[in-house]
């Protein structure tokens, strides 16, 4: 009987040692040694995917492991972001976010993540600009100053992809700064807002340049100004910036960045930064994004972190002044 107990003890010990050996071997393998999940907190097929998927494909090549885009949409990006925030801090679940990360905490009362506390910045990836465009039959204005003047006689209705989106908040900031009378008309996405501007159901639309470029170039909509980066868009080089139109100090571009869960090991973060920098130096990707209306913007983790903190502070003021709340 005693020998049986000893035998069982020896077997159990052997199993424990074997398990520790497996864990030790796994830990000793360099990162990454299995597929990586890139969480995109918006539906497939939108503007996010146009950047995230080419980036993921090249990041996969740089890391030597598949980088799989995982679209987890809902609640203005909060569902996917919460999932990423509470995933293991091992570098195998990353978040591909944009400036909603600086607006949502000011808008939603019961948000379940802290963008500064729960994430570690890796790098900015890309940016794009927004633009203001009007229906020529509804609005006579040709630039930002004449638009502000025209809105004094009758409030101008402007459409955006929804309440609390960057275009909506920028529209509020633009109205405060210029004294324009603007009525916000929220839509469920960029496409419906543009369609109603084309049809004359609303006067103006404020969305990203890549979404508007074709309609401005064909004359179906009249471009008023480009917003962001304080420089003209490569897609709409003839369209002046807000600063050139005499409206200074409120430019805001739409940025995209890569984040890991807080607590991710330093060696993993270093590997991710190196691979991301390699991807963002590729001339072919740079040109592809430029033609689509995006600019690759590699940065230090500190620069991305500061950008996020700046956005959180800026949009908090706008949200409070406009009294915008979301459940």
> pLDDT by residue (tens digit) across 59-88?
999 999 999 999 999 888 999 999 999 999
CA dihedral 245, 247, 248, 253 (to 10 degrees): -80
- The chain-wide mean pLDDT, for the chain, equals 90
pLDDT tens per residue across span 246-296: 888 787 889 999 999 999 999 999 999 999 999 999 999 999 999 998 999
Give me the sheet containing 156-160, strands edge to edge: 182-186, 156-160, 204-208, 130-134, 222-227
pLDDT band at 131, cuts 50/70/90?
A: very high
For the cut 60, the answer to whether the pLDDT of residue 13 exceeds it is: no
Half-sphere exposure of 105 (CA within 13 A, CB side): 19
Task: Please enumerate in sequence order all residues whose Cβ is within 8 A of that of 17, keeping only pairs 6 or more positions apart, or say none.
Answer: none
Mean pLDDT score, 127-137: 95
What's the pLDDT score for residue 195?
A: 96
pLDDT in tens, 177-225: 999 999 999 998 889 999 999 999 999 999 999 999 999 999 999 999 9
Q: Does domain 36-127+254-322 have CATH number 3.30.2310.20?
A: no
- The mean per-residue pLDDT over the stretch 22-36 comes to 71
CATH superfamily membership of 130-227: Periplasmic binding protein-like II (3.40.190.10)
Pick the more confident residue, 11 or 286: 286
* Domain boundaries for CATH 3.40.190.150 within the chain: 36-127+254-322
Per-residue pLDDT at 11: 54
Q: Where in the chain is the domain with CATH 3.40.190.10?
A: 130-227
């Amino acid at each position: 009987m005693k020998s049986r107990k000893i035998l069982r003890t020896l077997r159990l010990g052997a199993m424990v040692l074997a398990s520790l050996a497996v864990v030790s071997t796994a830990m000793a393998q360099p990162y990454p040694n299995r597929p990586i999940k890139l969480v995109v907190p918006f539906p497939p097929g939108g503007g996010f995917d146009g950047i995230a998927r080419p980036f993921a494909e090249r990041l996969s090549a740089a890391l030597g492991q598949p980088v799989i885009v995982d679209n987890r949409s809902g609640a203005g990006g909060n569902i996917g972001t919460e999932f990423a925030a509470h995933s293991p801090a091992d570098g195998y679940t990353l978040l591909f976010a944009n400036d909603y990360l600086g607006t949502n905490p000011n808008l939603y009362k019961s948000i379940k993540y802290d963008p500064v506390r729960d994430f570690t910045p890796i790098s900015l990836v890309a940016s794009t600009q927004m633009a203001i465009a009007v229906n020529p039959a509804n609005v006579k204005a040709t630039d930002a100053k004449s638009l502000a003047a025209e809105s004094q006689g009758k409030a101008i209705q402007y459409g955006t992809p929804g309440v609390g989106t960057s275009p909506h908040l920028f529209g509020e900031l633009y109205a405060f700064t210029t004294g324009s009378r603007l009525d916000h008309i929220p839509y469920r996405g960029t496409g419906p807002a543009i369609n109603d501007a084309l049809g004359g159901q609303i006067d103006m639309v404020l969305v990203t340049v890549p979404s508007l470029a074709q309609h401005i170039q064909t004359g179906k909509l009249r471009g008023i100004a480009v917003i962001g980066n304080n420089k003209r868009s490569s897609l709409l080089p003839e369209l002046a910036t807000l600063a050139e139109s005499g409206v200074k100090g409120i430019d805001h571009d739409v940025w995209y960045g890569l984040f890991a869960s807080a607590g991710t090991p330093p060696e993993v973060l270093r590997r991710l930064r190196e691979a991301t920098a390699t991807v963002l130096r590729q001339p072919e990707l740079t040109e592809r994004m430029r033609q689509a209306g995006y600019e690759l913007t590699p940065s230090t983790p500190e620069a991305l972190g500061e950008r996020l903190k700046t956005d959180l502070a800026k949009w908090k003021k706008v949200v409070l002044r406009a009294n915008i709340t979301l459940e």
